[in-house]
Amino acid sequence: MIAIRPTPEGATLKVRVAPGASREAIVGAHGDALKVAVREPPEKGRANEAVARVLAAAVGVRERDVEVVRGHASRDKVVLFRGLAEDDLRARVGGVA
């Protein structure tokens, strides 16, 4: 099961990133994380921005409401979805994973 946790601001999602991929996509579950492939390399935060963009589009929220809050320099990240309840995020992620 993908790790989704409630926070005072919304909900967080555990993500495993595959930077430098040939296409951007939600790949599926990777242990307790959601695997996301992005084209951008892991340089100067470009992959983090791409992760936020891909997840926002997949979940149906504004990009500015999605932020990498942990793991900025790692493939394993925690992403915050502002204003989205844990159950709502779980339902939306279940539809794309």
Averaged pLDDT, 42-57: 95
Average pLDDT over residues 42-67: 96
Query: pLDDT value at position 97?
Result: 63
Residue-wise pLDDT for 5-29, tens only, equals 999 999 999 999 999 999 999 999 9
Question: What fold does the segment set 12-75 form as a domain?
Answer: Conserved Hypothetical Protein Mth637; Chain: A; (3.30.1200)
- Residues 60, 66, 71: CA angle, nearest 5 degrees: 135
Residue 47 has pLDDT above 90, yes or no: yes
Strand 66-70, strand 4-6: pairing: unpaired
Q: What is the mean pLDDT of residues 59-66?
A: 97
**pLDDT(51) > 90:** yes
Which residues is 35 bridged to in the sheet?
A: 16, 28
| Average pLDDT over every residue of 84-93 | 95
